Amino acid sequence: MSSFDLGAFSDAVAGIAEQAAPTTASFVTQHGRTATAFHWGDGFYVTAEEAGEPDEELRLSLASGETVATELVGRDPSTGIALLKSAPAAAVPVLDNAGPVRPGHLIVAAGRDGASSLAELGTVAEVGPAWRSLRGGTIDRRINLAVMTGGRSEGGPVLDARGGLVGMLLFGPRRRALVIPFETIERTVATLRSKGHVVRGYLGAGLHPIHHTDVQGAIVVGLDEEGPAKAAGIVLGDIVTSWNGEKVRGPRELIRRLGPDSASAAVTLGVLRGGEARDVTVTIGEKPLS
């Protein structure tokens, strides 16, 4: 029986972190905390969308010791991705994409805090199919992690046992660590580079959950006078109960359907008005940037 060499294993994990360290950068958010970004290529850095605000003058602290000015190219709240652009004096490497991961696979979450490299070892806890975020974005794979990591590593790269990029570290509800996979980042970065934003669907209605006897849905409590819902004939007090025949149990389920692929689509909303069921066809608009 061969013995397990803990020292060799420890060195291997540290080697994965060292491989990623030159790609990472850090910045201070408007709330005074440190967050991580990592180099995507050509001076573009990826980070968590919630970490930076559009009016902030962000500066990246690089692994080389440089501190460089950076601009916010664009952000996509639906996938949690923001894209930054800087012009570092030295060449910065780019991580190769990882292969498929399975539950139980080891991962390393890499980060940076100024001159200090950060690394946490964990495992893949769950792998699943594509899913839609609470803000309507399509995430190509569900990858949840079992890892003890702090907020400084949010926005940083998550690596497999070979040092390949699985995706970006993000925190979901109840601070659950999850990965935005590299496929989602690739798609979102391409759009942010060309447009500066990702189109999101817009209904133009203020909604509130309603659960009364046999009625479940989203009641309309406000309307944008120039919005799609108003134009389609939706009125205050309507209760939206379905989207293209699929039940809607509350505003959150409706918002999830207002992703980028919904803009300009004609959808049939099932509504209750004064206790009478009816269908209303709405052409979904594009959510205003402001």
The full DSSP string for 18-67 is HHHGGGEEEEE-TTS-EEEEEEEETTEEEEEGGG--TT---EEEETTS-E
pLDDT at position 54 is 54
Task: Copy the structure tokens of residue 43.
Answer: 């001076």
Which residues in the chain show pLDDT less than 50? none
List pLDDT tens digits, range 13-27. Answer: 999 999 999 999 999
**Whole-angstrom distance, CA of residue 189 vs CA of residue 276:** 45
pLDDT at position 212 is 79
Contacts of 43 (CB under 8 A, 6+ apart): 85, 86, 87, 88, 92
Q: What share of the chain is helix, strand, coil (3-state, %, to 5)?
A: 20, 45, 35
8 Å CB contact between 42 and 163? no
pLDDT at position 36 is 96
pLDDT at position 111 is 96
**Whole-angstrom distance, CA of residue 38 vs CA of residue 189:** 13
Mean pLDDT, all residues of the chain = 91
**Whole-angstrom distance, CA of residue 76 vs CA of residue 252:** 18
Residue 255 backbone dihedrals phi, psi, to 5 degrees: -65, -35
Domains within the chain, CATH numbers bracketed: 1-196 (2.40.10.120), 201-286 (2.30.42.10)
pLDDT at position 89 is 59
pLDDT at position 161 is 95
